[in-house]
Each structure stands twice: as structure tokens, then as C-alpha cells.
Structure 1
Amino acid sequence: MTSSLEALLPTTKRALLHRIAVAQSEGRTPSLVGAVERDGQLVWSGGRTCVDGHAPDSDTQYRIGSITKTFTAVLVLRLRDEGLLDLSDPLDKHLPGTGVGEVTIAQLLGHSAGLPAETPAPWWERTPGSMRPELGDVLGEQPRMHPAGRRHHYSNPGYTLLGSLIETVRGTSWEEALRHEILEPLGMHRTSAQPQAPHAGGWAVHPWADVMLPEPSEDLGLMAPAGQLWSTAADLSRFAAFLARGDDKVLSAASVREMRTPSAPSEAGDWDGAYGLGLQVVRINGRTLIGHTGSLPGFVACLWVSVEDGVSAVALSNATSGPMIVATAADLVRIVADAEPRIPEPWRPLPDVDQTLLQLTGPWYWGTYSYGLRLVAEGGVELQPLRGTGRSARFVAAGDETWTGLDGYYAGETLRAVRREDGSVSHLDLGSFVFTREPYEPGDAVPGGVDGEGWRGL
């Protein structure tokens, strides 16, 4: 039962149902399930099917393909946060003997290790994993296609390596680590490596006739960390809520934000898409969405999260191709976010304020560019241009009147208040750039000095 603030308006629900009905009908798919999560609550789900008198619901399992990779990435980040590895470590440090041991863990997570997209023949998604019992069978004779770290090249074998890395460092199977470290803490009891009833069957729909045939469902073996999982719309909505805000039982909000940060250059012309650490980052309908798509023979799936709107959507279908699942999930987000925009939290004053820090707020000048410095929660500050364009950034308190940049041009850079001998503030130093209270005031600590004749007209 949802509260009045959580429940969607009838017109919004009607629009959502219409969208998945169109996707199922025009996409010619046996069934399709959609769900929407808002601020941690499943607020809508619906299903359409070609079977009279039956419709799948948010508890029906579908195979989710490469959305599995995001779960694998979370397990790797957990190892990093526990100090068991570093993302800059070469793979060989923890998993020797692969033949590609010089690539880093971060490169594998972001698909920039230069590995092939697929395994050697035969087609791994339609053949049993027992045909590839060793990592060498997954990587093949030419495991490197591009220089490491230079470009994004999606690699399924790369996530097989990450799965084996997890098993080696954790000392348990990938599936057991997944269950104990992610699925159980998040209450995802209907997500599993093997299908559990009720679940959909996978189908191929003929491209030129309204007929279909069943697709095989193989156990992927070593390739499981790249695409094995089955899940439900309800479970994936729980996972989406976690991806939006983190959960200390699984992964901190800071580490989840790191996963959402693009990690490698996009392909030329693909400026609306990037890849973080196990997460896709895209611009659709004017919104930034994070999440992942997935497909295996007989199934397509998509999970998108708009962190800014507090809305996420899941779309699952049991056809090899046809339904525009990426656009469908994005439209579910758009429908809710546009019809019922997030209501902001009430403004409240800070619980306490350091008077010394308060004196630093207000206008500052970098040369003749004007900026405003605002004090925010927990002693942090924000630097914003007062007019025109400029480099804005948020900073977190680091102690002793220093702050560390969180985003933009100044991410990781240090902002420091520099005081004179009498204790008064001389200027702000930001990565060696000097910000003063007045533009080029004589006597201020301006590198290169200030012309002694001062400001003048023509």
C-alpha cells in the first residue's frame, strides 16, 4: 500500500499502460512487463501479453542479459572498498596467467581494456558454457584488439575475467558472492542464476511473419558474470533505488557515484552515451539516465535511472528482437517525471554555522571574472559564476580551511583560504588560481602584480 504522496495519478498510470501496450503490440513480442520506481518505492507496474486471460506481473522472471554486468561491477567495487584490491591494479596481480594480465581492473570495468567483444566461435549465448571450461577458451588466441585505456570497446569476455577475479579474491563462487553481498541485503529474492517459476520463456519472432519459435536457454558457465541472471521488474526496481542513492549494506553512495562517472572516451559521434564502471550513462529525452541494457536469445531488458528526478524504470520482454526496450524504459521515466515532477524538500537553515567560514562567503574575483562562494551542509562550499559562463564546482570540507573539489573542472583540486599574518583573509587559492575580494586591487596577492596606475579610461 503506497501513501498518497507515493501513488501516481490515474492519468499517469493510463499513460504508462498505454506505453507498454504500444511496445508489446508494435514490437510484436509475446509479453512485456514495465515498472516504475520513485524515491525508493515501486509506484507502478504493468504487463501485456499475447496469451488471453494471462498477463505477467512484476514478480515474473525474465532473463536480463548484460544488466548482470552491473551486479558484477558492484562486487568488484566492494572488494576495492574493503582494501582487497585497487582499481588501478593490473589484473595479473590478483588473477595471474590470463595472458592479458597487464590490463587494469578499472579498464575491465569500463570496457577500455582492448579485449574482444565476444568469445571465439561458436556463438556463446546459444551454446552451453561447458564448451568454454577455461579462461583461455573465453579469450581465444588473440585476446587483445586495441591498446588498453585508449577507447571504449564493449567486451563480454572482460566481465568473465572480473567474475574470475571476484572468485579468486573472495574465495567463493561468483554466484554465492552475489547472493550474500547484493541480493540478500537488498531483498532481491526473485533474482537468480537459474530461472525460478513463475518465469517467461524466451522466443524468437519471425521478422516477416507473425509466427515464433522457442529460443534455447543455456547456462553460460564462465561467462555467467557477463549475462547469466534472471530477475523481475520488482527486484530490478529495488536495484535501481540502490543505484540512485547507494546502501551501506552493499556499497556506499560515494562508490555508486563513482560507478556512474564516465570512465573512457566515447566512440566518435556517440556523444550522448558513455560508460562508467559497470553502468551505462546516456542522454535520452533531455535527461541523463544511468543503468544498463541486456539481451540474450529470447529476451531483451533495460533499466534506467534518472537520479535528478528520483525516478527509475524497468522494461522486460521475452523476444530476441522487436520491442524498442531502451526507448520504452526511457519513456516510462519521462512520463512520470514530466507529469509528476519531484516535489522539492522544504528549505531549512543549516543546523549550525561556523562564523569563520561564514565570513568567506560572498563575491570573489578570479581576474575580472566574478564568482559567488556559498556555504552548504557539513562545512562544504559551492563556487558559482555570478554571470555568464564559468567553472562552477562543489567542494567538500577537508579541514584547516581547505576543501576538495567534487565535480567539474576542479574535481579533486584543493581550495584553500590563505590568511595574512594578522589573521585576515588575503585570498582563496584554487589549484594555484588566486581569487580576491576585488578585481585586481592594488596590494592584493595577484600573481604578476597589478599595474600601479590602476584602472583607467581611454
Structure 2
Amino acid sequence: MLPTTELVLLRRIATEQATGRAPSLAAAVVRDGEIVWSGARGYVGDTAPDRTTQYRIGSITKSIVAAVVMRLRDEGKLDLGDPLDKHVPGTSFGGTTIAQLLSHTSGLTSESPGAWWERSPGGSWTELSAGLTAEEIKHRPGRRFHYSNVGYGTLGELVARLRGTTWLDAVRDEILTPLGMNRTTDRPEGRHATGYAVHPFADVLLPEPAHDAGAMAPAGQLWSCVDDLARWTAFVGGRTGDVLSPDTVAEMREVATIDDGDTWNAGYGLGLQLVRVNGKRLAGHTGSMPGFLACSLIDPATQTGAVAFANTTSGIGILSVAADLIAIADDYEPPLPAEWRPAPVAEGLLELTGLWHWGPTPYHLRALPDGWLDLTPANGAGRASRFRPLDEDRWLGLDGYYAGETLTVHRVSDGTPAYLDLATFIFTRTPYDPAAPVPGGVDESGWRA
């Protein structure tokens, strides 16, 4: 990036590292799938951390586990509406759905029973599930957002059973290896940061433990580095390779639940945190484990993202750092829109374009690449949606009110488009065309003064 931009980015992390008293802080900006800036402050051993230095990423692990669950869904091996009992029978919360576990709306307790799992060696799934009695269901499933690490321990067991392997092997084989995330591991390998607690009233450190979390590991076990987490950040933004379809990752980014309040500033999708910061709607996840903080965020609209790591238990506003890096990059060097170029229109699509009316309300129907359609109110306000083709004369709604609904073109005997049927709403070339099957009919006297 430009030297001025790089200085502002470096100053942001330098200020955070100094005021937050972090032993080290490493960060990067990602744009269009590539690292365009990286920087670090502090030390790991005797030198500054680099882009391959490992830090523990905590709950970012959850998003990666969620991606495997979505692969299982796309393969038809489960449905997000399935109750847990269908795949992992015998728990006290078997009626909870897979979607509720993914979105932290299952009502399950936040932490596993017994000693705090983040600082204690973990046990087996049998031991964990035995402790999850009815008393550990804190809310009616679906009632509200209640962050549950236990829920992701459960999803790890689900993955293991449906894949016939460990959750870790499934994650490694299906996500990490295909994305080239070869420095993302369950235990530190090679050069890595030590996790520390910083004394609140003195500039001294206390090493934090880093145990294997056992059955709770899918909630926060993984370690990663700047290079690898940048690849994951690009994935969340829609650069999914062959791991998942962009449509599926877009579904993961949809708001499933929001925080308390009149307007949402933070929410959760299917394994992804969602936040509104600096006027942007960002997707990703934060992570914290004793001695470590991490964050991966991206603005899908601008394709600018950021990653940040610190090896301290507290004191660093890790989400604010990542969000600010995105804002700085986009403010100082806003991405240019893609060049417009003429593109071929699918056969028969051009005759559908133009003015249509729902009752007296005019709409514009435009042709998009790949046979898609865009339906927008002529005044720009109201129900709008894009549609992708299903088969001849049928399209599936992708956005807003019409998401999931079918748009069907009806034609007269010579093949000319006569009217559109969209979820029983009839769109005609002229307002209330009496020749079309307008619900309730059209007054025979027609329009009058």
C-alpha cells in the first residue's frame, strides 16, 4: 500500500501494543484475497513476530468447524433443521437443531461443567455429555442468543460421527489443507508465541497454560499465523475455492440472531460473528484463550479484511484493531469498482427486461450475467431481489422479501411473455392488465377520472 497508508496502519497497531501492554501484536490487511500490508510490534523471543509465527486463535476454531458442518449439509448428510438426536443420540438436549447449535441459540450453558475448560486438560465426549444434564439447558432453544462453547464441542462430535474420523482430521483434510493453511495446527509447531497474563499494576508477565481441551477442543483449540488466517479471512469473504460454494458461505454470513437492544450492532450467523463498525457490516470471528487474543474480519462489500493476534490474556481491543485496519485501508485507498464491460445476455432474456407492474407500482426488470435477473421498484424503494435461473422460465429469489421464492414467466401461445408470477403476485406490462390473472379480477369499466 502507499507509504502514508502503511504508516497509519502501523501506528494503529503500535499504539494498541503500547497502551495495551501486549508482549507482541501481529496484524495484516487482506484485499481481494491477498495480503497487502502486514506489521508487528513487540517480540516473540528475541525478534519481532513474522507472518508465520503461530498464535492460538481460540474461538475462530468454531468458524472452521462450522464450515465442515455446512459441507455435510451440502452433501445431504444432514439438514440444519435436524434435531441433534438424529445424529448424536442420548444427550439431554437432543431436540436442539443443528442450526441452533451453529448460531448459539440452542440455550445450552456457555461453559462445560467442572473446572474451567480453557485452563484445564479436557476429557472425552462421554465424560462431557454425561455432565450436560437438563440443568445445563439455560434457555428454551431458539429463544435468544446465548454463546455456548459446549455447543461447538457437540458439533465437533457430530462431525466426528458423520465423517468416521476425528473432528480435527476432518477440519485438516476438508478445510485447512485445501486452503493452504499448513501452519494451522491443534498444538504449536515451530516458531510460536508464548501466552502471557500481564500484571495489572506492574510490567511483569505470567505464562498461561495451554492444555489439550479434549472434547471441548472444537470450541477453541487451534493455532494459526498471519499467512494462514489471511487465507481464512478471504474464504469468509467469498473466495471459497472448492471447499464450499460462495452461496453457502453467504448463508453462513446471514444474521441468525442479534445482540440485545433496539438495533443490532453485533449478531451471529452460522458459525460466524457479525458486527457493524465504522459504517461497515463485517463478518468473521474473534478468539480468546488464556494468554491469547485473535480476530479475523472482512467486509464482503469491499473485499477488505484484517487479521490480528496478541499473546496476552486481556488488555487489547482485538476486534477494534481489526475493524480499524479495514476502515483505514478503505478510507486511505478505497477499492476501485470493477470495470464495466458488455456481456452476452442469455437467449430469450432480453425480451423479459423492461417495465413491469405489480398493481399500479412500476418495476424494472434487468438482465444480469449468467442468466440472472434483477427486479427493482422504479422509484428505488420497496421490495427488490435478484433471481438466479432454475430452469426454463423459472428463477429463484436470492434477496430480501423474495428470497427463496420462485419467479415464473407465463407466455401467450406465440411465446411472448404475458405476465410474471412471483409468489402469487402478478406482474403485468401495463397496470392491472385485464388479460392477466390478476387476483380479485379487474373492474370491467377500467380506469376512470
2:136 to 132, 143, 158: 143
Q: Which residue of 2 aligns with 1:5?
A: none
**Map 1:54-453 → 2, pairs under 5 A:** 54-130=47-123, 134-136=127-129, 139-140=132-133, 142-269=135-262, 271-354=264-347, 356-453=348-445
Instruction: Give ranges in structure 2 of 5+ residues lacking alignment.
Output: none
Whether 1:30 and 2:30 are equivalent positions in the alignment is no
CA contact (8 A) 2:68 2:171 kept: yes
TM-score (norm. length: structure 1): 0.93
Instruction: Classify 1:132/1:382 alpha carbon distance in 2 versus 1 (closer, same or farther; 3 Å).
Output: closer
Whether 1:21 and 2:14 are equivalent positions in the alignment is yes
CA distance in 2, matches of 1:406, 1:414: 10
CA contact (8 A) 2:93 2:134 kept: no
CA contact (8 A) 2:33 2:239 kept: no
CA distance in 2, matches of 1:188, 1:408: 35
Partner-residue secondary structure (3-state), 1:148: coil
Using the TM superposition, give the Cα deviation of residue 414 of structure 1 relative to its aligned residue in structure 2, in angstroms.
Answer: 0.8
CA distance in 1, matches of 2:207, 2:130: 28
Using the TM superposition, give the Cα deviation of residue 429 of structure 1 relative to its aligned residue in structure 2, in angstroms.
Answer: 1.1
- Paired AA for residue 230 in structure 2: S
Using the TM superposition, give the Cα deviation of residue 59 of structure 1 relative to its aligned residue in structure 2, in angstroms.
Answer: 1.0
- Paired AA for residue 338 in structure 2: E
CA distance in 1, matches of 2:181, 2:6: 25
CA contact (8 A) 1:373 1:383 kept: yes
CA distance in 1, matches of 2:76, 2:283: 26
Partner-residue secondary structure (3-state), 1:65: coil
Using the TM superposition, give the Cα deviation of residue 167 of structure 1 relative to its aligned residue in structure 2, in angstroms.
Answer: 0.9
CA contact (8 A) 1:426 1:445 kept: no
Instruction: Give ranges in structure 1 of 5+ residues lacking alignment.
Output: 1-7
Using the TM superposition, give the Cα deviation of residue 330 of structure 1 relative to its aligned residue in structure 2, in angstroms.
Answer: 0.4
Instruction: Classify 1:124/1:131 alpha carbon distance in 2 versus 1 (closer, same or farther; 3 Å).
Output: farther
CA contact (8 A) 2:125 2:157 kept: no
CA distance in 1, matches of 2:118, 2:430: 65
1:48 to 26, 41, 47: 41
Using the TM superposition, give the Cα deviation of residue 53 of structure 1 relative to its aligned residue in structure 2, in angstroms.
Answer: 6.1
CA distance in 2, matches of 1:132, 1:436: 59
CA contact (8 A) 2:68 2:170 kept: yes
Comparing 246-255 and 261-270, the one that deviates more: 261-270
Using the TM superposition, give the Cα deviation of residue 214 of structure 1 relative to its aligned residue in structure 2, in angstroms.
Answer: 1.6
Per-residue CA deviations over 1:368-415 (Å, capped at 9, x if unaligned) read: 222100011121100111115111100001112111101110000011
Using the TM superposition, give the Cα deviation of residue 261 of structure 1 relative to its aligned residue in structure 2, in angstroms.
Answer: 1.4
Using the TM superposition, give the Cα deviation of residue 38 of structure 1 relative to its aligned residue in structure 2, in angstroms.
Answer: 1.1
CA contact (8 A) 1:150 1:264 kept: no
Per-residue CA deviations over 1:93-116 (Å, capped at 9, x if unaligned) read: 111112211111111111111111
Per-residue CA deviations over 1:264-301 (Å, capped at 9, x if unaligned) read: 35433461222111001111111111000110111111
CA contact (8 A) 2:345 2:369 kept: no
Q: Which residue of 2 aligns with 1:3?
A: none
Per-residue CA deviations over 1:325-360 (Å, capped at 9, x if unaligned) read: 101000111111222222222212223432x32111
CA contact (8 A) 1:103 1:148 kept: yes
Instruction: Classify 1:321/1:137 alpha carbon distance in 2 versus 1 (closer, same or farther; 3 Å).
Output: farther
CA contact (8 A) 1:279 1:290 kept: yes
CA distance in 2, matches of 1:129, 1:76: 22
Using the TM superposition, give the Cα deviation of residue 137 of structure 1 relative to its aligned residue in structure 2, in angstroms.
Answer: 5.0
Using the TM superposition, give the Cα deviation of residue 422 of structure 1 relative to its aligned residue in structure 2, in angstroms.
Answer: 4.6
Comparing 365-374 and 341-350, the one that deviates more: 341-350
CA distance in 1, matches of 2:409, 2:350: 12
RMSD across aligned C-alpha pairs, in angstroms?
1.9
Using the TM superposition, give the Cα deviation of residue 443 of structure 1 relative to its aligned residue in structure 2, in angstroms.
Answer: 4.5
CA contact (8 A) 2:44 2:194 kept: no
CA distance in 1, matches of 2:283, 2:188: 26
CA distance in 1, matches of 2:265, 2:233: 21
CA distance in 2, matches of 1:194, 1:150: 36
Partner-residue secondary structure (3-state), 1:134: helix
Using the TM superposition, give the Cα deviation of residue 126 of structure 1 relative to its aligned residue in structure 2, in angstroms.
Answer: 1.2
Partner-residue secondary structure (3-state), 1:359: helix
Per-residue CA deviations over 1:238-283 (Å, capped at 9, x if unaligned) read: 1111222243432121221121112235433461222111001111
CA contact (8 A) 1:304 1:330 kept: yes
CA contact (8 A) 1:186 1:238 kept: yes
Using the TM superposition, give the Cα deviation of residue 439 of structure 1 relative to its aligned residue in structure 2, in angstroms.
Answer: 2.1
Comparing 263-272 and 177-186, the one that deviates more: 263-272
- Paired AA for residue 21 in structure 2: R
- Paired AA for residue 369 in structure 2: A
Give the count of matched residue pairs: 449
Comparing 435-444 and 279-288, the one that deviates more: 435-444
CA distance in 2, matches of 1:229, 1:350: 44
